Amino acid sequence: MWLRALTPEQRHALLDLAYNVVVSDGLLDPNEEFMLASFKREMELSAKVEPTYHELDGIDKVFDTRRARTIALLNLLRLSYVDGAFEIEEECLLREVSRAFGVTDAEFLLLDNWVRRFVALEREALGFM
């Protein structure tokens, strides 16, 4: 969602952060792999680009606007729900990212709530198909 609005540097960093999220619980679900591929397509990154672990130190300088930070968090939250479970490791990592971005706990909860409702609507739409 809105990934094309990111700069090339932010796109690569987001892919790496997404990788951090999917490996944080020790399992790589096929749905997570599919969403990583979807991220690459939306960000117009080559399918051959392989994500790597990304340090959180300095991430606030890469995602230097509120808009970029919100886009990153919404997509990372969405990714964390794609396997059907928001694991504690994923939540801890995303809370670290949000703190690095200067997002309050209350704002994080609002973003999380929006993503959960969005994911529920996506599943409902798939049921119509």
pLDDT band at 129, cuts 50/70/90? very high
Q: Which amino acid is at 112?
A: D
User: By residue range, what is the domain housing residue 96?
Assistant: 3-128
Cβ count within 10 A of residue 111? 18
Split into its structural domains, the chain has a count of 1
pTM of the model: 0.93
pLDDT in tens, 77-107: 999 998 877 888 999 999 999 999 999 999 9
Q: Which amino acid is at 101?
A: F
Write out the two tokens for 2: 């809105």
Q: Which amino acid is at 129?
A: M
pLDDT in tens, 43-70: 999 989 998 888 999 999 999 999 999 9
Q: SS3 letters for the chain?
A: CCHHHCCHHHHHHHHHHHHHHHHHCCCCCHHHHHHHHHHHHHCCCCCCCCCCCCCCCCHHHHCCCHHHHHHHHHHHHHHHHCCCCCCHHHHHHHHHHHHHCCCCHHHHHHHHHHHHHHHHHHHHHHHHC
**Which residues lie closer than 8 Å to 27 by C-beta, 6 or more apart?**
83
| CATH number of 66's domain | 1.10.3680.10
**Which residues lie closer than 8 Å to 8 by C-beta, 6 or more apart?**
none
